[in-house]
Amino acid sequence: MQKAIACFENVTRRFGDLIAVNDANLEIFPGEVTAILGENGAGKSTLMKLLYGVHTPSSGRILINGKPSTISGPADAMINGVGMVFQNFSLLPALTVRDNLLLAWPKTPYWVSEKNKRTTEVLANLKRLAPHINPYSKVSNLSVGEQQLVELCKVLNLSARIVILDEPTSVLTPAESQRLHGFIRQLADEGVSVVLITHKLADVEACADRIAVMRQGQIVDVSTRGQKSMSEIVTLMMGSDVKREISPPTYPKKRVEKLFLNKICATAPGMSLKDISLSIAAGEIVGLAGVAGNGQALLAQVIAGIHPATSGDVVLDGVSLIRRTQMETLSTPLGYIPEKPRENAVVENMTLSKNLNLRELASGNIDATEDTKNLLTRFHVNPPEMDRRASTLSGGNLQKLVSARELGWPRAAILACYPTMGLDLTAIQMIYREIFAQAEAGAAVLWISEDLDDLIAGSHRIAIIRDGQLVAVKNNDGKLNRDTLGALMTGLHPERRIA
Amino acid sequence: MSVHRDTVLIVGATILTFFLLTIGFFVLLGKPPFEMIGMLLTYALGDGYSISQTLAKTTPILLCALAAAVPGRLGLISVGAEGQLYAGAITGTAVVLAAPDLPAALMLPMMLVCAALGWAFYGYVPGILRARMQINETITTLVLNYVAVLWVNALVFGPWKDPASQGWPATITFPGAAILPALPSSRIHLGLLIAIALAIGLHFFFTRGASSQKIQILAGNRKVGEMFGLNFGTWVIVLMAMGGAIAGIAGIAEVSAIQGRLQPTISIGYGLTGFLVSWLSRHQPLIILPVAFLVGGLVAASDALQLFAKVPAASAIILQGLLFAIALAVPGIIKSMRPNYER
C-alpha cells in the first residue's frame, strides 16, 4: 500500500464546551478521492480546516508526508501544497475571472497584459474544467455554480498536492456536478489527493475511492469503495445509538383537517419548491424528513409567511397565511421554531422577558405581562433571569427560549425546524413533551428534522422532501425504518452498492 | 440599566480625553493652556451674551442631531441633515415669499409646517429608495445634501433674488411676522424651545409606547420583526421622513431668526456636526441635549477665541475635529479594555 500523504492521529478540536472533532484518525492517500460524509454539524469542515491551518488541533497531531504538520494558516497551507475551496467564496466580484485567477496565482508576472505569453497558463485549468466560462466576464455576472468552478480553478492553479472541496456540488446544476465529478477523477489520476466534504451520496457514488463517515465529531467509519451498501452508509451517517423515550399522543380518532398546504411553489437563490401539497389534521404530527439543503428551510419560511410564495397557498383553519410579495408582511399565527435561533428568532439586545413577548410587542401591546419567569423555568432556560439580555445566552438556551415563546401558549399549529438542535437529552425530552402536548390539545404539527429515529418514534406520518419536492408521504404504521426513509431521501435504491 | 451606566461612562471618558488633548493642543500652539481653556469657558458661558451665542449655535446642532438620531434608532445612517436643513429653508421661505402679509399667528405655524414638510419629503425620498430598492441611504442622503444646497443657490441668485439688493444673492428681508420670536436683545429664539420639546418628546417616543418596541425589534433583528408582521420598509420611510422634518425646522429657524432672509450660506456644517453629536450620544435624545449644548458652546467660544486670543482661525475646526475623533475612538477603547465585554 502507498504511503499516506496526510495523516490525522487522535485529533480533537474543542470550541469552548463543544467538541467539534473528537479523536479523529484518518489517512489521506495520493491519487485518491477521499469523501468525508456526514450531516450538518458533524464536524466535516472543521476536520479539514485543521489540515488547512484555519484551526489548530486541541490535542492529537497531523502528519504530512510522515512529518508533523507545521501549517499555521491558509497562506502557509498553500505553500505546502494544500488548497481548499470553501462553501462561501473569496472571489472579488468587481474583477474579471482572469484577474481573479491572476491574483491568486504564484507565477503571475508583473505585466499581466493578455499579450504576455506567461499569463496564458493561468487559464489552462479553467479551459479544461469550465470551457463555457468567459475569462473576461466579471465574476459578479457569473452564476453561483460558475463562481464555484472559478474558485476551484484558483486552487488548482496552485498545483496543490491536496485539494479539499467543501460541499462543492451544493450550488451546482446536475450537468456542472457531472463535469466536476469527471474532473475530480482526472485530478486523482494525475496523483493529486482530493478530499470531498459532502452530504450528498451522489457525489460519493460518482467519484469517491475512500469514504469516511462522520457523526457528532467522530469518524464512525472508513471504508473503501464497494465495501458498504448505500443503506449501510446512510445508517452510519444518521446514527442509531441513542434510544429516546418518545411517546407521541395517539392519533386523533376523528380526522379534522387543520393546516393545509396547497401546491406551494417558491423560489430562492439555489432552491425552488415545486407543487408541495400536504394536509395536516388537528392533533396530527407530521414529520418532514430530508437531507439538509433539499428545500426544508425554504418550505418552513413559506409556511411561516416569511418568504413569499410564487403560487399555491397555506391555509390554517380557513385563513390564508402566505405572503405574495416581498413587500408584504404578516404576523404568523403559527408556533414557529425556525432553525438557527440566534439569527432567525431572537432580538439579541432585548431582554429575555421581552423576547418571550415579541408577538405582543410587535402588535403594539406593551402591557403584556405574561408569567415569563415560570415559562423560563418550565423550558429549562438557564439562567432564568427575565432582565438578562438574550445576547448573553448560549445557543442551546436561545433554542429553549424560542421554544418557550412558541410552545408556551396554546397554538393552532406548530411548525418546528430542528427544535432540538444543540440541546441535551433532558431538554430534548422536554421539547418533545411540549410539542406533543400541543398536538394533544388539537394543534396540527409539522416537524422538520434530520433525526430519523426520532421522527419514526414521534410522528404519525412522515413526508420526505428531495430537491424541493415531496417525494412521498408515508403512514408511520410501524413498518417504516431508517433504510426505507434513507433511500427515499437520497433517491437511490437501498440495496444498490456503491460501485 | 447597564445601558445607561455605560453611556455615562463613555461620555465622561470622552470629555476627559478631550480636555487633556486640548491642553496638548494649546501647548503646541505656544499658548498657556489653562488660560486658553478658561477663555473658552468664558466665551461659551461667561455672560449673557456668550450664553446667547452658545444657545444660538446649539439650536441647529440639536435639531440636526435629532434628525440623525431618529433614523439612527432603526440602525440607519442618515447624513442628510445638512441637505434637509436647506430644503426646509426653501419650503419655509416659499411661504413667506408667497404671502408676505400674513399675520404672525398664521405665518409662523405655516412657515414651520411647510419647512417640516419640505424636509420630510427630503427624507422620504432616500427612505423609500432604501425601503423598496435597498439603495444605501447614507449615499443618497449625502448626495442629496449637495442638491439642496445648490437649489438654494439657484433660487437666491435667480428667481427669488431681492431686486433691491443690488446683486447681493439673497431674498427680501423677512417681514416682522415671519421672524421667530426671540428673547429681547439676544439670539435665543423659539427654535430652541421647539428643539428641546422635540428632544423630550422623542425620548418618550423611543423609550415608552408601542412604537418604541417595534423599532427596537426591527433594529435588533429585522427577520424576527418581519416574522411578527412588522414592515421594515414602512418604518424606514416613516423615520427618515420624521428625521427630515426635524432638520427642516432647523433650516427655517436659522433663516428666520438668525439671518432674516434666505441666502447661500445658512449652515456652517450644522448637519454634519449634528450627525456626529447624535452618534456620540448613541441616538439618545436626552444625551443629545447636553452634548449639543457642549458642542454649541465649543463652536461659539472658538469663534470668539480666534477673534480675541489671536489663535489661528483653523483652531476652532481643529478643536471640533478633535472632539469628534475622540468621541468615536473612546467607546471602542473602553470596550476593548474590558476583560469580558459582551461581544
> Among residues B158, B179, B141, which one has the least CA distance to residue B260?
B179
Torsion angle of alpha carbons B305, B310, B312, B314, nearest 10°?
Answer: 20
Q: Is the CA virtual torsion B153, B158, B161, B166 positive or negative?
A: positive
Task: Please count the structural domains in chain A.
Answer: 2
The tens digit of pLDDT for each residue in A19-41 reads 888 899 999 999 899 999 887 66
Cβ–Cβ contact A331 with B under 8 A: yes
If one compares B280 and A1, the residue with the highest pLDDT of the two is: B280
Q: Are A360 and A283 found together in one domain?
A: yes
Task: Kindly tell me if the per-residue pLDDT of B136 is higher than 70.
Answer: yes
Cβ–Cβ contact A242 with B under 8 A: no
Q: What is the pLDDT of residue A34?
A: 93
Q: Are A219 and A262 found together in one domain?
A: no
CB contact under 8 A, B216 and A347: yes
Q: What is the pLDDT of residue B104?
A: 72
Q: Are A300 and A433 found together in one domain?
A: yes
CB contact under 8 A, A363 and B229: yes
Task: Kindly tell me if the per-residue pLDDT of A320 is higher than 50.
Answer: yes
Chain B residues closer than 8 Å to A346 by CB: 221, 224
Q: Are A335 and A484 found together in one domain?
A: yes
In A319-362, the DSSP E strands lie at: 319-320, 335-337
Over residues A409-424, the mean pLDDT reads 84
Q: Are A424 and A275 found together in one domain?
A: yes
**CATH hierarchy code of domain B50-308:** 1.10.3470
The tens digit of pLDDT for each residue in B216-255 reads 888 888 888 888 888 888 888 888 888 888 888 888 888 8
Q: Are A468 and A366 found together in one domain?
A: yes
Q: What is the pLDDT of residue B343?
A: 38
CB contact under 8 A, B220 and A347: yes
CB contact under 8 A, B210 and A364: yes
Cβ–Cβ contact A409 with B under 8 A: no
Chain A residues closer than 8 Å to B229 by CB: 329-332, 362-363
Nearest chain B Cα distance for residue A360, angstroms:
9
Instruction: Return the minimum-mean-pLDDT range out of B70-74, B185-189, B224-228.
Output: B185-189
CB contact under 8 A, B216 and A389: no
Nearest chain A Cα distance for residue B34, angstroms:
43
CB contact under 8 A, A361 and B220: no
Task: Kindly tell me if the per-residue pLDDT of B342 is higher than 70.
Answer: no
Interface test with A, best of B224, B283, B340, B341 (most A CBs within 10 A): B224
Interface test with B, best of A302, A358, A363 (most B CBs within 10 A): A358
* SS3 call for A317: coil
Question: Which residue has 418604541 as its cell numbers?
Answer: B212
d(CA B128, CA A248): 50
CB contact under 8 A, B213 and A361: yes
Chain A residues closer than 8 Å to B213 by CB: 354, 361-362, 366
* SS3 call for B199: helix
d(CA A35, CA A212): 6
Strands A413-417 and A444-449: parallel
CB-CB: which of A330, A346, A392 is closest to B221?
A346
Residue A221: inside a domain: yes
Q: Are A394 and A338 found together in one domain?
A: yes
CB-CB: which of B217, B231, B233 is closest to A361?
B217
Q: Tell the burial category of A498 from Cβ atoms under 10 Å away from its Cβ (0-12, 13-18, 19+).
A: buried
Q: Are A198 and A265 found together in one domain?
A: no
Q: What is the pLDDT of residue B304?
A: 81
**Which grid coordinates belong to A437?**
402536548
Average pLDDT, chain A: 83
Task: Kindly tell me if the per-residue pLDDT of A492 is higher than 70.
Answer: no
Which alpha helices (H) appear in chain B, and where do they start and end? 2-29, 33-45, 48-72, 81-98, 104-133, 137-157, 190-207, 209-220, 222-227, 232-253, 270-280, 285-308, 314-337
Cβ–Cβ contact B4 with A under 8 A: no
How far CA B254 is from CA of A322, B251, B327, in Å, comes to 50, 5, 27
d(CA B249, CA B8): 29
* SS3 call for B230: coil
Q: Are A154 and A45 found together in one domain?
A: yes
Residue A248: inside a domain: no
Q: What is the pLDDT of residue A446?
A: 92
Average pLDDT, chain B: 81
Instruction: Return the minimum-mean-pLDDT range out of A169-173, A302-306, A397-401, A474-478.
Output: A169-173
Strands A162-166 and A82-85: parallel
- pLDDT band of residue A499 (cuts 50, 70, 90) is very low
Residue A220: inside a domain: yes
Q: Are A139 and A196 found together in one domain?
A: yes
Q: What is the pLDDT of residue A194?
A: 92
Contacts of B194 (CB under 8 A, 6+ apart): B63, B112, B249, B253
CB-CB: which of A344, A349, A366 is closest to B210?
A366
Nearest chain A Cα distance for residue B75, angstroms:
13
Closest residue in B to A345 (Cα–Cα)? B224
Nearest chain A Cα distance for residue B263, angstroms:
42
- pLDDT band of residue A463 (cuts 50, 70, 90) is very high
Cβ pairs bridging A and B (under 8 Å): 73
ipTM surpassing 0.85, yes or no? no
Q: Using alpha carbons only, what angle is made at residue B285 by residues B234 and B106, rounded to the nearest 5 degrees?
A: 75
Nearest chain A Cα distance for residue B145, angstroms:
28
The tens digit of pLDDT for each residue in A179-210 reads 888 888 888 898 889 999 887 777 888 888 99
Over residues B185-197, the mean pLDDT reads 82
Nearest chain B Cα distance for residue A403, angstroms:
14
Chain A residues closer than 8 Å to B237 by CB: none
Task: Kindly tell me if the per-residue pLDDT of A471 is higher than 50.
Answer: yes
Domain boundaries, chain B: 50-308
Which alpha helices (H) appear in A246-357, and where do they start and end? 296-303, 341-344, 352-356
- pLDDT band of residue A1 (cuts 50, 70, 90) is low
Report the predicted TM-score, pTM, of the whole model to 2 decimal places: 0.69
Structural domain containing residue A309: 257-490
- The CATH number covering residue A86 comes to 3.40.50.300
If one compares A146 and A404, the residue with the highest pLDDT of the two is: A404
Enclosing H/E stretch for A126: helix A124-129
Three-state SS string over B88-131 comes to HHHHHHHHHHHCCCCCHHHHHHHHHHHHHHHHHHHHHHHHHHHH
Cross-strand pairs, A61: A9
d(CA A209, CA A215): 20
DSSP, res B256: I
Task: Kindly tell me if the per-residue pLDDT of A330 is higher than 80.
Answer: no
Question: Which residue has 461612562 as its cell numbers?
Answer: B9
Q: Are A398 and A369 in contact (CB under 8 A)?
A: no
Task: Kindly tell me if the per-residue pLDDT of B4 is higher than 70.
Answer: no
How far CA A308 is from CA of A305, A314, A335, A470, in Å, comes to 7, 11, 19, 19
Nearest chain B Cα distance for residue A357, angstroms:
11
Q: Tell the burial category of B299 from Cβ atoms under 10 Å away from its Cβ (0-12, 13-18, 19+).
A: buried
**Which grid coordinates belong to A377?**
423555568
The tens digit of pLDDT for each residue in B263-312 reads 887 777 788 888 888 888 888 888 888 888 888 888 888 878 877 777 77
Question: Which residue has 497531531 as its cell numbers?
Answer: A61
Phi/psi-derived region of residue A385, left when phi > 0, alpha when psi is between -120 and 50, beta in every other case: beta
Q: What is the pLDDT of residue A493?
A: 58
